[in-house]
Amino acid sequence: MDTIENKTNKRPLSPHLQIYKPQITSILSIFHRFTGVFLAFGLLLSVIFVFFTAMGEETYKWWNCIVNSLVGKGLLFLWLLAIIFHALNGVRYFLWDNDIGMSIPSVKWSGLFVCVLTLVLTCVLGILIWM
């Protein structure tokens, strides 16, 4: 009966994204999941790279052309960004699991710190790698 009433009222059964105001914790949680999926695709591309390298010089040259294109470098840069963000945010979650930094100000500042440090490390490492 409860289900029928909710269908007629067209209200969600529980609060959802339309109800809650975005907070840094929810946004970074969503990005953490997104980067995890993106890293899985990057791992698949790494396996393809090893396969192409094992196939011989011609397929390696083809792969090298793709990676050195603007799109390829952009995807590698995003992959580097995802690796760094996922690692830093994972350390943050690990600290939370050990009940460290759970106050509201600590949660907000650690989230901002993860974002800033991600951008700085990605730019520095990106410059060092592609120079």
Single pTM value for the model: 0.82
**Residue range 83-115, pLDDT digits in tens:** 999 999 999 999 999 999 999 999 999 999 999
Question: What number does CATH give the domain 24-130?
Answer: 1.20.1300.10
pLDDT tier for residue 22 given thresholds of 50, 70 and 90: confident
| Long-range interactions of 17-24: CB distance < 8 A, separation 24+ | 24/107, 24/108, 24/111, 24/112
Start-to-end Cα distance in the chain: 65
Which structure tokens are listed for 38? 């993106």
**Residue range 46-63, pLDDT digits in tens:** 999 999 899 999 999 999
Number of Cβ within a 10 Å radius of residue 89: 21
**What's the alpha-carbon Rg for the chain, to the nearest Å?**
21
